Chain A
Amino acid sequence: MAAQTMFEKIWDRHVLVGEEGELLLYVDRALIHEGSSHAFAALDRQQRKVARPQQIFAFTDHYVPTTGRDKGIEGIAIPEIRNMVIKQHANAAKHGIRLFGFDDPGQGILHIVPPEQGITQPGLVICGADSHTSTHGAFGCLAFGIGASEMMHVMSTQTIWQRKPRTLRIVVDGKTGFGVSSKDVILAIIAKIGVAGGVGHVIEYAGSTIAGMSMEARMTVCNMSIEGGARAGMVAPDDITFEYMEGRPYAPKGGAWHDAMTYWKMLPSDANAVFDREVALDATQIAPMVTWGTNPEQTLPVTGRIPDPESAVNDVQRSEYAAALDYMGLAAGTALADIAIDRVFIGSCTNSRIEDIRAAAEVAKLGRAKVPAWVVPGSQTVKAQAEREGLDKVLLAAGFEWREPGCSLCTAINGDQLQPGERCASTSNRNFRGRQGTGGRTHLVSPAMAAAAALTGRLTDVRDLMKSH
């Protein structure tokens, strides 16, 4: 048989039937959240049932408040938000779907909890009601986000119609420098390929840098595939993957574990598999990154300066740069490290796992926050582990706020939001206009960089901060 990529192996095993190149894929698992109300409304309208409720998992994350949980669902202050959470719990109960809900000890973000629970496994097709479903590809599965109509289709048929995407391999080699994290690696990748660079492609991340990463770090990389325009990102499963998974609640046990491993080990791309495109990056050249504009390709090393729209390559880019600077309230030529910030957000499905909290705490030890700085763990599991390690104490002692898990300030629909004009150093994934609240200004950074910004009140090269201590 011809050499195959990991993507092709998974894809081929899931095709049920094709119609002129549009293929019906079997879906192993689907992930939904409070915002999937539109999909449930469509199911109800058409009087349809959920075909395989045991393969659908629901999470309370987008709308859930990150403080004041002790009063229960009824204690959620904003009525519209309370209703979203109540409605989700009712829908899950009605359709027999496992919900990691408001009071669940495993509650958390839909891209944080399934890996922790062992729901995310190599070789699967996973659809999520959210574009960052690409996160799960870190385990060597094909995971992508879909809209409400497609989710309704998945829930009622356990399948989805897709056209076969092209493949793009991004090979990152070399050892990252001091103070450089997986977030900086993915921001550097997006800066290189552009926000539309991956459109129509599935990315496989490979190379020694990726192979040397923990699962948490790989998830951060795959998470932001969508910011490079790709719906899915993947990393070949290896011993790091298996070690992470073993013993998790939904992971296979005993003999089944060994059967599963046999299959998982066949998944990585064959040595001579051909990708439609290849991109290479040298990790040793990557510095801590900061976004300066209103999309994630407008990214520079923290040592850089705000670009001059006059330096743009064409008219479209020139007006795009000028509009971004206008929205961000920044002047061309300003050193990034001179930009004062109002707030810091450490959280989101990009960077709210235990390693992210550890990285933030490590920096927080060096001083005291000068601006409001929130730490929002991705799940109750992360929160509990961080508390066992005493990281909450470290962060609180440095003046950071330690909150309850959820999406929070990443997408600003649970009541947490920036005020107009406020500038935030954020570990989330989107610096779009208004993403963190109407008129809010977002600079995307790694957890260590965010913590450093909190200590100085401006964008800061975390390497300088750490070296001076």
Chain B
Amino acid sequence: MQPFTTLTAIAAPIDEPNVDTNQLCPTRFNKVPRGPGHARILFHDRRFDADGKQKDFILDRDPFSRAQIIVADRNWGCGSSRESAVYALYEFGVRCVIASSFGDIHANNCSKNGLLPVVLADAEVAAIRKQLHAQPGATLTVDLAQQTVTDAAGQVHRFDIHPVRKKCLLEGLDDIARTQQYLERFEIFEEAYRRERPWLYTAAP
């Protein structure tokens, strides 16, 4: 996983709440193996008409087409667990989404792929989106170590992140290596657990 430390980049405001993962990656693209093609899949049906022509979605307008940060509203990434929604964001170039809340599964999927989900208050995301509309192309700075977002007006917003998630993102650690340290404990646990619930392991019919 690519580490996430600090990022200063153009940010795109997406005003609507409840952007579901079907919007980020329409279902028919779920089967596409992960790759650069996912850049075009992001918000596909909002961006392209049936003939593949652009519809003038915000992420296709300059300077937002170069955005690496999205500032959204509440409940970003609700709905389906599809990780292809994260592949689409990532391949488009997005490394950080700021919203007032996230679909739980999507937020996990983001942080397992080096994409930082930042939660700020409703009023903060609304204010930052307003700035970005007023000054298209303005950059934000996200500093994970400090847990801050510096907005276009220079105001600093602090965010919370779980210390373990923070460490994994900062260092680009994947979970399996972490889990494998506990192999011995796993075996002891499992043996006791199986003894306690033998009915779970009776052979399949």
Q: Which residues of A come within 8 Å of B, CB atoms?
A: 16-17, 19-22, 24, 26, 28, 35, 37-38, 41, 46, 48, 54, 63, 80, 84, 98, 121, 123-124, 129-131, 144-150, 152-153, 156-159, 161, 163, 165, 195-196, 199-200, 226, 229, 231, 249-250, 252-253, 256-257, 259-260, 263, 295, 316, 319-320, 323, 411-413, 420, 430, 432-435, 438-439
Contact = CB atoms under 8 A, between A and B. Distances in A.
30 contacts: A17-B182, A17-B185, A22-B164, A38-B83, A46-B176, A80-B31, A145-B105, A147-B106, A149-B109, A149-B113, A150-B108, A150-B112, A152-B176, A157-B176, A159-B179, A161-B164, A161-B179, A195-B75, A195-B78, A196-B101, A199-B75, A250-B205, A252-B199, A295-B78, A316-B17, A316-B126, A411-B27, A433-B45, A434-B23, A439-B45
Nearest to B74: A196
Chain B interface size range: 35 or more
A236 to B, nearest CB: 19
Nearest to B85: A147
Contacts of B31: 35, 37, 63, 80, 84, 413
Given A131-B81, A157-B179, A430-B79, A21 B162 contact: yes
A280 B74 CA distance: 24
Nearest to A253: B202
A320 B83 contact: no
B175 interface: yes
Nearest to B34: A38
B125 to A, nearest CB: 10
A303 B172 CA distance: 53
B82 interface: yes
Interface string B42-82: 00010000100000000000000000000001110011111
B79 A432 contact: yes
B103 interface: yes
B190 interface: yes
A56 B186 CA distance: 18
9 tightest CB-CB pairs across the interface, nearest first? Answer: A252-B199, A147-B109, A147-B83, A196-B75, A149-B112, A256-B199, A148-B83, A22-B164, A145-B81
B22 interface: yes
B196 to A, nearest CB: 8
Nearest to B189: A16
A185 B18 CA distance: 22
A38 B179 CA distance: 21
B74 to A, nearest CB: 6
Contacts of A295: 18, 20, 78
Contacts, number: 178
Contacts of B22: 430, 432-435
Interface in B76-120: 78-84, 86, 101-106, 108-109, 112-113
A152 B34 CA distance: 15
B141 interface: no
Contacts of A149: 83, 109, 112-113, 175
B133 to A, nearest CB: 13
Interface in B132-173: 162-165
Given A146-B81, A159-B186, A316 B73 contact: yes
A89 to B, nearest CB: 15
B185 A16 contact: yes
A466 B50 CA distance: 41
Given A430-B22, A438-B50, A131 B16 contact: no
A231 B105 CA distance: 8
A250 to B, nearest CB: 7
A323 B205 CA distance: 52
Nearest to A28: B200
Given A195-B75, A199-B104, A413-B30, A147 B163 contact: no
A152 B108 CA distance: 14
Contact of A130 (B20, B81, B106, B190): B81
A22 B162 contact: yes
B190 A26 contact: yes
Contacts of A41: 33-34
A199 B103 contact: yes
Contacts of A411: 27, 80
A412 B204 contact: no
A229 B75 contact: yes
Contacts of B78: 195-196, 229, 295
A117 to B, nearest CB: 9
Contacts of A263: 197
Contact of A320 (B16, B50, B80): B16
Nearest to A57: B204
Residue of A28, A195, A259, A412 with highest tally of chain B CB at under 10 A: A195
Given A41-B33, A256-B198, A20 B81 contact: no
A256 B202 contact: yes
A249 B102 CA distance: 39
A263 to B, nearest CB: 7
B30 A316 contact: no
B126 to A, nearest CB: 8
A146 B108 contact: yes
Contacts of B185: 16-17
